[in-house]
Structure 1
Amino acid sequence: MPSLTSPPDIVDTLYSSHHGWLHNWLWRKLGCSDGAADLAHDTFLRLLKARPPEPLREPRAYLSTIANGLLVNHWRRLAVERAYLEALAVQEHDVAPSPETHALAIEALMQVDQMLGRLPLKARTAFLLSQVEGLTYAAIAEQLEVSERMVKKYMAQAMLQCLLISDADN
């Protein structure tokens, strides 16, 4: 193996040595060669940004860990998109959103999903009960078996995460 002096050299060597293996590994997971190629590409892009430690003792384990995280995000995005399409299907209007609107909606839903994933379980539940089910803080407190003050704290946590999403977009 050649001497690795900089992160691009490391990635270049890893790419030439392990890209085929990674593509096949992802292909088995996805069942789609094109999707596997996209995720393999994204894995190496992430690797370029991460500046891996020199030398990598287990390069395939390192690559598969990065690729697995991307795979989980891919499946989560598909699940969010499927739920969005199901929600659209039950709407009474016959107008479908434009591809741009569809993409923006999926991106916004992914941000909300990530935000919810950062919240503790009770804060996430309180937020969803408030925003989706329309329950009052008193009803949420009763359901979660906590005080209304705790519900307010949970909602403040959720709203802070919403503001962080908003700030990231600006």
Structure 2
Amino acid sequence: MFNDSTASPVEQLYTRHRTWLRGWLHRRLGHRADAEDLAHDTFVRVLCSRQDVGELRQPMAFLAKIANDLLINRWRRQAIERAYLEALAARPEALEPSPEERLLTIETLLQLDSLLVGLSMPVRRIFFLSQLDGLTYPQIAAQLHLSVAQVQRAMGKAFSVCYASRFE
């Protein structure tokens, strides 16, 4: 290995806490290989961040926050993929997309989800009813027991987030 006194702060963080982090993730995931993968991804995030890890007061809390965010992203991705595959299963086999189309659709849905994550659930639901289900504003308003003006305001919020993301 290496001498802890000459190691960089990231190397020290890794050496001191990798075993704990893998165990913490294993308890949440139930699979050792998945825990290894997420622990690795956590330290990759640490390396890519510009945070001075040598000055951390609570390094385990720091690592747990990063790992938990990665875990949430993983579960969100799995939920989106599962919903998409369920929707595909309901379609006739002749209309089934190619593996490339599936991957592109899932990636697009994940990007859209990450864009809209800051919006409230009602606004997201209205956006999806409009953009994915093709419902008109009056149809959405009737289905959700809202006014058309409320639906328009919600769509305005969602579109402003999408528009702003194009210029970041």
> Structure 2 length normalisation: TM-score?
0.80
Distance 1:38 1:147 in 2: 47
Q: Which residue of 2 aligns with 1:34?
A: 33
CA distance change for structure 1 residues 117 and 49 in 2, over 3 Å: closer, same or farther? Answer: same
CA offset at residue 102 of structure 1?
2.7
Identity %: 46
- Unmatched 5+ stretches in structure 2: none
- Unmatched 5+ stretches in structure 1: none
Q: Which residue of 1 aligns with 2:19?
A: 20
How many residue pairs end up in the alignment?
164
SS at match of 1:2: coil
Asked if 1:60 corresponds to 2:60, the answer is yes
Distance 1:140 1:117 in 2: 20
Q: Which residue of 1 aligns with 2:9?
A: 10
Distance 2:95 2:140 in 1: 36
CA distance change for structure 1 residues 119 and 13 in 2, over 3 Å: closer, same or farther? Answer: same
Is the Cα–Cα contact under 8 Å of residues 122 and 144 in structure 1 kept in the other structure?
Answer: no
Q: CA RMSD in A?
A: 2.6
Distance 1:16 1:148 in 2: 57
SS at match of 1:52: coil
Query: 1:32-57: per-residue Cα shift (whole Å, max 9, x none)?
Result: 22211111111111112223344111
Query: 1:104-160: per-residue Cα shift (whole Å, max 9, x none)?
Result: 222111112223322233322321332344433234345556543342222122123
> Structure 1 length normalisation: TM-score?
0.79
Q: Which residue of 2 aligns with 1:116?
A: 116
Q: Which residue of 2 aligns with 1:128?
A: 128
Asked if 1:85 corresponds to 2:85, the answer is yes
Q: Which moved more, 1:11-20 or 1:122-131?
A: 122-131
Distance 1:96 1:120 in 2: 32
